[in-house]
Structure 1
Amino acid sequence: MEDHGDHDSVRRGYDAVAEDYFAGFRDELAGKPLDRALLTSLIEQTGRDAPIADLGCGPGHVAGWLADHGVRAVGVDLSAAMVEVGRREYPAVEFREGDLLALPAAAGEFGAAVAFYSIIHLHPTELSRAFEQVHRALRPAGLFLLSFHIGTEIRHLDEWWGHSVDIDFRFLEPSDVAGALEAAGFTVETRAERVPYAGEVDTRRAYLLARRADA
């Protein structure tokens, strides 16, 4: 695995902003009908007997939404502070601290996985390793739903909610992400794009729904 040295700075940055991030994003799904529709579809196709992982879960608001809809949700995040907030706010969710490149999960543990805007902190050469980890952690025919900002730019933050940070946000081309998913053993079943909702950062967003192809 190639190490680009970015993960420690990402961890420290999210540790610094954890409380502010939760306050700013805790209710965001209320204004995101497409996200809710895709998550609902994921639940319906997965069934209630299998846990669903929220990868790069932050303070756990997506995992909490899943739990509210009858799912055994497991949130995984790099930031210990984010995990601490999640455990405090969403006691129905199991939270684990961990990296997308070395998921703290058993083989075949999850029925499905979600990664909303978490792969944007990976170097492009790390996508394949991350997707291989998701593939390993999913059951046969398991679904993987992910979203990201579309493009090729890198936006850097050195200040966020009044905290000093050092975080890159990488935009990605859907074709590149789909190619990495397919190389890791997934079949991409659904692709969608949208413009930002009111109040969001002005970027186009992509959603890919992929399935383990070895069923």
Structure 2
Amino acid sequence: MTEPAYVAETRTAYDTVAESYAETLKDALDESTWDRAVLAAFAEQVGKSGRVGDLGCGPGRLTGHLAALGLDVFGVDLSPGMVEVARRTHPHLRFDVGSMAALDLPDGSLAGALAWYSLIHTPLERLPALVAELARVLEPGGRLLTAFQVGDERRRITNAYGHDVEADAYRLRPDFVADLFTAAGLVVDVRLVREAEEHEKTPQAYLIARKPLV
């Protein structure tokens, strides 16, 4: 099957910025009370009884954070460059190269899934299938947490973290994402929108959903 052009563009862009991205964002969690609070709530809900996938993990900064919170967590990312940085930075954790759209995981195998700013490069018409894949790998009662920039537009990114790149990114409406989760059979328990912090251009949203027990 021919790979969609947006997938190749996204992979190349993140391979290009991997080192700079990791260095720039290494302390970002220290600067956002809300990010830490939402991740802590997610970790508490998931508990320590099952595996958690950080899907679109980048250099593994949140994978490491969730591991420090006591979760049995691993990372998956489309970018081999990002995975290389993640493995070097967190040698005690597992990281795999892979696609969120076709996860190499059995049905119902995860107690939790994190999609932290990792839905944003998928065209809107392809998001239902992507969210259905995330729902597939969750066990009954499992939680899915996503975060994204709020808006209703496609942006063409040509420079990021000091590098020339070519990739699209989508700002998303919380109601739109919630509807995607509902259509995939998930129940949305939390919707939180916060105003932009100093370095951000738009409000940011967090959604936590769960897979019903029956």
TM-score bracket, normalised by the shorter chain, equals over 0.9
Q: C-alpha separation between the residues in 2 aligned to 1:182 and 1:125?
A: 16
Residue matched to 2:50? 50
Q: C-alpha separation between the residues in 1 aligned to 2:106 and 2:178?
A: 24
Residue matched to 1:131? 131
Residue matched to 1:117? 117
Q: C-alpha separation between the residues in 1 aligned to 2:36 and 2:200?
A: 19
Q: C-alpha separation between the residues in 2 aligned to 1:121 and 1:133?
A: 16
Q: C-alpha separation between the residues in 2 aligned to 1:162 and 1:115?
A: 25
Task: Count matched residues.
Answer: 214
Residue matched to 1:82? 82
Q: C-alpha separation between the residues in 1 aligned to 2:21 and 2:180?
A: 29
1:210 aligns with 2:209: yes
Q: Which amino acid aligns with 1:205?
A: Q
Aligned-residue offset at 1:201: 2.2
Aligned-residue offset at 1:159: 2.1
Aligned-residue offset at 1:166: 0.6
CA contact (8 A) 1:72 1:93 kept: no
Q: Which amino acid aligns with 1:134?
A: L
Point out where structure 2 has 5 or more consecutive residues left out of the alignment. Answer: none
In the TM superposition, 1:171-210 aligns within 5 A as 171-198=171-198, 200-210=199-209
Q: C-alpha separation between the residues in 2 aligned to 1:94 and 1:46?
A: 19
Q: C-alpha separation between the residues in 2 aligned to 1:96 and 1:2?
A: 21
CA contact (8 A) 1:96 1:104 kept: no
1:61 aligns with 2:61: yes
SS state at 2:58 partner: coil
Q: C-alpha separation between the residues in 2 aligned to 1:2 and 1:118?
A: 22
1:154 aligns with 2:147: no
- The root-mean-square deviation of aligned C-alpha atoms, in Å, is 1.7
Aligned-residue offset at 1:135: 1.0
Point out where structure 1 has 5 or more consecutive residues left out of the alignment. Answer: none
Scaled by the length of structure 1, what TM-score is found? 0.94
Q: Which amino acid aligns with 1:68?
A: A
1:26 aligns with 2:26: yes
Q: C-alpha separation between the residues in 1 aligned to 2:5 and 2:150?
A: 24
Q: Which amino acid aligns with 1:19?
A: E
Q: Which amino acid aligns with 1:107?
A: D
Q: C-alpha separation between the residues in 2 aligned to 1:13 and 1:3?
A: 16
Query: Identity over the aligned pairs, expressed in percent?
Result: 38
Q: Which amino acid aligns with 1:73?
A: V
